[in-house]
Amino acid sequence: MEDLVHEESSKIDDGDDEVMSHPSEETNDFMKTLMERREQTRNTLESTMAQRHRRLPPLKQTHKGQQVDVVDVEGPSALTASIRERMRQRVREASAKSQSTGTEIRPRRLRSLRQRGDVQTRFDEPSVSVFASTSSPPPASLRLPSPPDDKDEIVEEPEPALERWKRAIEKTRPTRFAQSEAGIDESAYDFFTSSIEGGPEALEEEEVEEQRQVSQERQIAETDLEAGEGDEEQYVPLTVRGHAEYHPHGERLKVEEELYFYPSSDSARLEDKLPEETEARHLEDEGLYVGKRPPVSWRNYNRLENRLLRQEDKGRAWFAEDGRLSYVPDPLKKPPSRPHVHIGGTDDEKLDTEVKLPLVETFDHRFIDGSGLGFGCYQLDVDISSLAFSHHSLFSVEHVLASRLSQLYSQYVERREKGIVTFMEDRLKALREASRHLQETLGPVDPEPGTVLEEQFHRLREYKSEIRRIRLLKDSEEVTDKKIIKSILKYWNNLKAVRQEQGYNATSLKLVIRKEGVSARDDEAAWQRAIDEEVEELREEYQEEYAGQLMEYQRQMDEYRKERKLIRQEMKRRRRETQEEEGRTFDRSAALREPVRPDGPAPFDEAAARRQVVEKAMENRRHPGQPKLFPILDSSALISASQQCPREEQLRRRDVQRCSYCIRVLFNKREVSRTATKTLSGDFTVHFGQIFNIQIRQWPESISLQLYESRSGSSGGFGLIAEVYVPIPPSQLHSGNVALENIDFSSPQKVEYAHTGVGSGINVDISSSGLVSILLTSGALRASACWSKDDATGKILSPPMLGQPTHFGERYVDAIAALGATGMVDIQKLATWISEAQLDPNDPRNADLLYLVKTHAGDDPSCLAKQDYFRLNEMEKDSYFCEDDYLEKSKRFQLLALRDQEARNFSGFKMVPANDSEIKDSIFTDLASKEIEEEELDPHKLQRFAVTNFFKEVQSRVIDRSQRASRHRELRDVVIEEEVPNIGILGQSIVKLLAPRRPLKPERKERKTIFTQAGGVSDIKLLVRLVRAFNVPIRERSNTRLGARSSGQGGRDGDPSSDFDLTDQVQVRPFVEVSFQQSKQLTPVADGPNPSWNSEMSLPFMSPNHDYSPVALQGVTDLISFNLFDEILVDLLEDDRQRETNRHERIERRWLGNLSVPFSTVYSNTRVDGTFQVSVPSVLLGYKKDDSRATEVASASDFALMSHSQTFLSLFITIEPPLPPLPTLREQYDSNEDPRLLRTARAWSDALERKFKKRRIQMTVMDINIKTVFITRYVRSQNPPEGILANVESGSLAAMEKVAWYVAMIPSLADAVAFRSNCDIWATSEQFLMMQAGDEEEHAVLLCNYFLFMGKKAWVVLGSGIPEGSTAYVLTEDQGDQLSGEYWLWNPSTGKRFHQFDPYCPLQTVDSVFGTENIWVNVQDHQKPSFLNFNLSLSRNWRPFFSKRYPNPGLSSVQGDLTYKPPDESLAKSVEEKIERLLKKRFEESRRHVTRWNRHCIAELRKFLPRLEERPFDSASVEDQKLQLASITGSDKLSGFPLHFAFTDVDSIVNSVLDTRLHTIEDPQAEFALAVYVEAYPSDVLSVWVYVVGLTKRLT
Partner 1 sequence: MAEVHVIGQISGASGFPSPNLFCKWGIVAGTPWKLLAGLAEGQTQVDQPQDGERANWCHPIDVHYACKGLQGWPKLHFEVWHQDMFGRSELYGYGFCHVPTSPGSYTLDCATWRPSGDIWEQIQSFFLGGGPQLKSKDLIYDGTNRYRLRTETMGFVHVQIAVVLRNFRKFGVEC
471 Ramachandran zone, left/alpha/beta (phi>0; psi -120 to 50): alpha
Options 354-362, 1125-1133, 1300-1308, 1543-1551: segment touching partner 1 (CB under 8 A)? 354-362
Q: Which position among 359, 638, 754, 1000 is part of the footprint of partner 1 (CB under 8 A)?
A: 359
**Min. distance of Cβ 1409 from partner 1 in angstroms?**
44
Cβ atoms 637, 500 nearer than 8 A: no
Which positions ≥6 away from 1569 have C-beta within 8 Å?
Answer: 1493, 1494, 1497, 1498, 1500, 1501, 1536, 1587, 1588, 1589, 1590, 1591
Residue 118 binds partner 1, judged by CB under 8 A: no
**Min. distance of Cβ 1013 from partner 1 in angstroms?**
12
Options 471-479, 509-517, 869-877, 1366-1374: segment touching partner 1 (CB under 8 A)? 869-877
Q: Which position among 204, 226, 276, 352 is part of the footprint of partner 1 (CB under 8 A)?
A: 352
**Min. distance of Cβ 806 from partner 1 in angstroms?**
6
Q: Which position among 4, 317, 332, 355 is part of the footprint of partner 1 (CB under 8 A)?
A: 355
Query: Alpha carbon of 128 to those of 124, 131, 148, 1129: distances in Å?
Result: 7, 5, 9, 157
Options 227-235, 300-308, 349-357, 1278-1286: segment touching partner 1 (CB under 8 A)? 349-357
Rounded to whole angstroms, the Cα distance separating 1337 from 1308 reads 10
1234-1273 residues near partner 1, rule: CB under 8 A: none
Which residue, 351 or 1286, has its beta carbon nearer to partner 1?
A: 351
Query: Alpha carbon of 724 to those of 387, 389, 660, 664, 1041: distances in Å?
Result: 12, 14, 18, 10, 82
Q: Which position among 361, 523, 683, 1509 is part of the footprint of partner 1 (CB under 8 A)?
A: 361
Which residue, 448 or 868, has its beta carbon nearer to partner 1?
A: 868
Options 509-517, 881-889, 1173-1181, 1294-1302: segment touching partner 1 (CB under 8 A)? 881-889
Rounded to whole angstroms, the Cα distance separating 275 from 177 reads 59
Within a 10 A sphere around the Cβ of 885, how many other Cβ atoms? Answer: 8
Cβ atoms 1024, 1099 nearer than 8 A: yes
Rounded to whole angstroms, the Cα distance separating 1467 from 939 reads 7
Q: Which position among 358, 517, 717, 996 is part of the footprint of partner 1 (CB under 8 A)?
A: 358
Rounded to whole angstroms, the Cα distance separating 937 from 268 reads 114
Which residue, 65 or 345, has its beta carbon nearer to partner 1?
A: 345
Q: Is 1387 helix (H, G, I), strand (E, B) or coil?
A: strand
Which residue, 374 or 1365, has its beta carbon nearer to partner 1?
A: 374
Q: Is 542 helix (H, G, I), strand (E, B) or coil?
A: helix
Which residue, 180 or 873, has its beta carbon nearer to partner 1?
A: 873
Which residue, 248 or 803, has its beta carbon nearer to partner 1?
A: 803
Q: Is 729 helix (H, G, I), strand (E, B) or coil?
A: coil
* Spacing of C-alpha 891 from chain mean position: 20
**Min. distance of Cβ 970 from partner 1 in angstroms?**
13
Residue 994 binds partner 1, judged by CB under 8 A: no
Residue 375 binds partner 1, judged by CB under 8 A: no
**Min. distance of Cβ 788 from partner 1 in angstroms?**
20
**Min. distance of Cβ 290 from partner 1 in angstroms?**
37
**Min. distance of Cβ 856 from partner 1 in angstroms?**
18
Which residue, 247 or 877, has its beta carbon nearer to partner 1?
A: 877
Q: In what order do the strands lie in the sheet with 1207-1216?
A: 1092-1101, 1020-1030, 1207-1216, 1167-1174
885-914 residues near partner 1, rule: CB under 8 A: 886-888, 890, 893, 896-897, 899-900
Q: Which position among 276, 793, 880, 1380 is part of the footprint of partner 1 (CB under 8 A)?
A: 880
Count of residues near partner 1 by CB under 8 A: 45
Interface pattern 804-823 for partner 1 (x via CB under 8 A):
--xxxxxx------------
Residue 339 binds partner 1, judged by CB under 8 A: yes
DSSP letters spanning 279-323: ----TTTTT----PPPP--HHHHHHHHHHHHTSTTTTGGGB-TTS
Which residue, 1 or 359, has its beta carbon nearer to partner 1?
A: 359
1424-1463 residues near partner 1, rule: CB under 8 A: none
Residue 884 binds partner 1, judged by CB under 8 A: yes
Strand partners, 1034: 1184
Options 346-354, 772-780, 1064-1072, 1244-1252: segment touching partner 1 (CB under 8 A)? 346-354
Rounded to whole angstroms, the Cα distance separating 557 from 1041 reads 95
Rounded to whole angstroms, the Cα distance separating 328 from 272 reads 22
**Min. distance of Cβ 883 from partner 1 in angstroms?**
8
**Min. distance of Cβ 800 from partner 1 in angstroms?**
9
**Min. distance of Cβ 909 from partner 1 in angstroms?**
11
User: What is the amino acid identity at position 1449?
Assistant: P
Residue 1192 binds partner 1, judged by CB under 8 A: no
Which residue, 892 or 957, has its beta carbon nearer to partner 1?
A: 892
**Min. distance of Cβ 884 from partner 1 in angstroms?**
7
Cβ atoms 55, 91 nearer than 8 A: yes
Rounded to whole angstroms, the Cα distance separating 1489 from 1485 reads 9
**Min. distance of Cβ 355 from partner 1 in angstroms?**
5
**Min. distance of Cβ 1071 from partner 1 in angstroms?**
50
**Min. distance of Cβ 368 from partner 1 in angstroms?**
14
Options 351-359, 463-471, 573-581, 676-684: segment touching partner 1 (CB under 8 A)? 351-359
Residue 844 binds partner 1, judged by CB under 8 A: no
Cβ atoms 674, 707 nearer than 8 A: no
Residue 868 binds partner 1, judged by CB under 8 A: no
Cβ atoms 1108, 1015 nearer than 8 A: yes
Rounded to whole angstroms, the Cα distance separating 1429 from 1439 reads 13
User: What is the amino acid identity at position 308?
Assistant: L
- Reported as half-sphere exposure (CB side, CA atoms, 13 A), residue 1512 has a value of 23
1015-1074 residues near partner 1, rule: CB under 8 A: none
**Min. distance of Cβ 352 from partner 1 in angstroms?**
5
Burial (CB count within 10 angstroms: exposed 0-12, middle 13-18, buried 19+), residue 1582:
buried
Phi, psi torsion values for 1028, nearest 5 degrees: -165, 175
Which residue, 348 or 1289, has its beta carbon nearer to partner 1?
A: 348
Which residue, 893 or 1460, has its beta carbon nearer to partner 1?
A: 893
Which residue, 289 or 869, has its beta carbon nearer to partner 1?
A: 869
Rounded to whole angstroms, the Cα distance separating 891 from 906 reads 13
Rounded to whole angstroms, the Cα distance separating 393 from 761 reads 8
Rounded to whole angstroms, the Cα distance separating 500 from 1478 reads 78
Within a 10 A sphere around the Cβ of 528, how many other Cβ atoms? Answer: 12
Cβ atoms 90, 35 nearer than 8 A: no
Which residue, 4 or 882, has its beta carbon nearer to partner 1?
A: 882
Phi, psi torsion values for 685, nearest 5 degrees: -125, 155
Interface pattern 767-806 for partner 1 (x via CB under 8 A):
---------------------------------------x
Rounded to whole angstroms, the Cα distance separating 617 from 534 reads 10
Q: Which position among 4, 357, 802, 1286 is part of the footprint of partner 1 (CB under 8 A)?
A: 357
**Min. distance of Cβ 1457 from partner 1 in angstroms?**
47
User: Residue numbers of the site for partner 1 (CB under 8 A)?
Assistant: 339, 341-346, 348-361, 806-811, 872-873, 876, 879-884, 886-888, 890, 893, 896-897, 899-900
